Every structure is written in C-alpha cells, then in structure tokens.
Amino acid sequence: MKELAQQLKEKNLKVTPQRLAIFQMLSNTVEHPSAETIYKALETTHPTMSLATVYKTLDALKKASLIQELNVGEDCFRYDARTHSHPHLICVSCCKVVDMDSIYLNDIRERVEKNSDFDILDEKIYFYGVCPNCKESKEH
Amino acid sequence: MKELAQQLKEKNLKVTPQRLAIFQMLSNTVEHPSAETIYKALETTHPTMSLATVYKTLDALKKASLIQELNVGEDCFRYDARTHSHPHLICVSCCKVVDMDSIYLNDIRERVEKNSDFDILDEKIYFYGVCPNCKESKEH
DNA sequence: ATAAATGCAAAACCTTTGCACGCCT
DNA sequence: AGGCGTGCAAAGGTTTTGCATTTAT
C-alpha cells in the first residue's frame, strides 16, 4: 500500500499530523467509524485536535476520493477508507457495519446501465439483517 | 389500490386529515420528497399543519411499513410510498431520485445471503449518475 | 512568504420532544 | 371520560462556518 502521506500529496492536500492520524485510523479499521468516533479515538494521541478539524479533514479526503462516506440510515455518516465500491452489511441488532466483497455483485452496475437511461458513476448498496453473532445470541 | 384510509385503519392508525394528506401526497408522486418538501406542498391545502406533525406522521407511516425512508446521501431523508424494495437512481447533476424496477436485480439478495453469514431482511440500493435530461443539457 | 489548515465558538440545519389543547369515540 | 393526534415552542444532535492563529511547503 502506498504511503498515506504520499497519497495526500498526490491530491494536493497538505500533510498535517491531524490528516495523517485520521487517514491512518480509517485505513487501519474495519469499523466504519463516524466523525465523533474518530474524534474520540484520537483524543488521547491528539488531544488538541478539534471536532471541526475531523469534519473538515473527512470532507477533504472524501473530495479527493481517498475515503468514502456511508449512509446506513443512522443520524450521522460513517466513513470507509476502502474507496473501491463494495456492498455493506448492517446488523439491525448490534448496528455493526461489515464490508462485503464486491465480486459477488460485479455485474449489477452493468445491468442497471442497460436497464436505465442513466450514466452510472457510483453506487451504494446496503443490506440490513442479523449478523452471525447476534443470530447466535438470539438462539440462547 | 386499497383505500388509503383503509390501510391506515388496518395498522391501527387513526385516520386524520393530516395523515391522509401526507399519505396521499406520497402515494401520488414519484418525486421522493423530504419532510420539508411535503410540508410546503401541503401548505396551501393544510395551512395549520405543523412540520412536527409531518415528521410524526412520517414516522408512524414508516413504522407501519406503509412508506419507506430513503438516505440518498443528502442532509435529510426522503420518503417513498412504494414499500416494495427497489433500487433508486440519483442524478448527481439535478439531484432527482428515480425508481428502478426491482426485477432487474431480483437475484441479488439471494446472492448476498449465499456469500455472507447474515440473515438479510432488507436492502437499500442507490445508483448515482447522470440522468437523460442532464446528459442532454451537458452536450449543448 | 504565502497559502492553506487548525481550533474555537457560534451558527445552521434537520429532527425530536414536551406539553397543552382539541377531537373523536 | 379517555386516549390519541395536533401544533407550538424549545431542545437535541450533527455538521458547517467565520475568523484569528498556526503550520506546511
């Protein structure tokens, strides 16, 4: 994987400790955190960083296509450093958001383009259900 | 189509002029309006109706599965009286939201269930692109 | 040097909530 | 009488904005 700082530079974004910390945190998690969650996770290592900076950074990264924003139907956005379009599975019981490998739906964009008059640029696919963990706990 | 009032009654929702107006407005449009848009659209016929009532009604209809809530990535929700799960096409240029016939993606839930350990209950599928109208105006 | 990023506070925005009043049975 | 729905105002929560200061290049 390319150095995160390098990726920022290529998009003409100045490399600041705050941006690196946020980008790195997002790159190393599978949790799809919200702005608030990111802010709290970095509180100990970056105690002076403000929530506004988190929002501004997420906006910059999003516009640079270095991260993507998720809308799973909550009151806030979540963020994902995997920018390649892929479906997400959301557990309605524990609210966990899990990545799904996009290969299983590889052909659907093509199908949509064929059956609509839109030029498709992007897609967001969310499946809601019960995750394996929660299924198990319900059985007990 | 079943009478709207009848549908409300079946869900143990009292039939009020406000609820009927909102439900009817949603049933007769393909525009996927937001709460604010609904409120403004009904302003002339129901001048005393408050925005809070719109929100409360939408919540009641949603919980009764008479409408569904859409998250197309804007700052507010949109609503759709077609409750059968179907993909939506969003024009990134004019922000129009269009229904797509779900038959074109009939098999995907099945595929997701087969390739994940989730029990799938619902899905939200959004495609972002340029609609025919906007494609045309860009060419000029 | 200078253009951009940060941090703070305030504002904006959508949505929810509390409560009194009204309506209908 | 009783329970629910409405409308108003206020509150809540997330996100954005303005501005002075600091920082990166």
CATH value at residue A127: 3.30.1490.190
A4 and A70 in a single domain? The answer is yes
Of the listed ranges A19-23, A86-90, B88-92, B134-138, the one predicted with least confidence: B134-138
> What single-letter amino acid sits at A21?
A
B26 and B50 in a single domain? The answer is yes
The tally of domains found in chain B comes to 2
Cβ of residue A57 lies below 7 Å from strand C:
yes
Residue A15: half-sphere exposure toward Cβ, Cα within 13 Å: 10
Q: What φ, ψ does residue A16 adopt, rounded to 5°? A: -115, 155
Residue B104's pLDDT is 80
A51 and A70 in a single domain? The answer is yes
Task: Provide the token pair at A50.
Answer: 């403000």
Q: In sequence order, what DSSP letters do the residues of B44-55 get, joined into one string?
A: TT-TT--HHHHH
* Euclidean distance between CA atoms B51 and B68, whole angstroms: 19
From the CA of A53 to the C1' of D19: give the distance in Å. 15
Report whether pLDDT(B1) > 70: no
A63 and A114 in a single domain? The answer is no
The partner residues of B129 in beta bridges, in order of sequence, read A120, B91
CB B131 within 8 A of CB A118: yes
Find chain B residues with C-beta within 8 A of A111's C-beta: 104-105
pLDDT in tens, B38-87: 999 999 999 999 999 999 999 999 999 999 999 999 989 999 999 999 99
- pTM of this prediction? 0.92
B79 and B89 in a single domain? The answer is no
> Does the distance separating the beta carbons of A126 and B124 come in below 8 Å?
yes
B78 and B104 in a single domain? The answer is no
Residue B2's pLDDT is 65
Find chain B residues with C-beta within 8 A of A117's C-beta: 131-132
B3 and B60 in a single domain? The answer is yes
A94 and A72 in a single domain? The answer is no
Find chain B residues with C-beta within 8 A of A123's C-beta: 125-128
Q: Could you list the residue range(s) of the whole structural domain that residue B128 is in?
A: 84-140
The bridge status of strand B88-91 relative to strand B119-130 is parallel
> Does the distance separating the beta carbons of B123 and A123 come in below 8 Å?
no
A69 and A120 in a single domain? The answer is no
Q: Does A126 touch chain B (CB under 8 A)?
A: yes
Nucleotide nearest to A14 (CA to C1'): D24
CB interface of A with B, residues 41-80, below 8 Å: 69, 71-73
B51 and B6 in a single domain? The answer is yes
* Euclidean distance between CA atoms B95 and B74, whole angstroms: 9
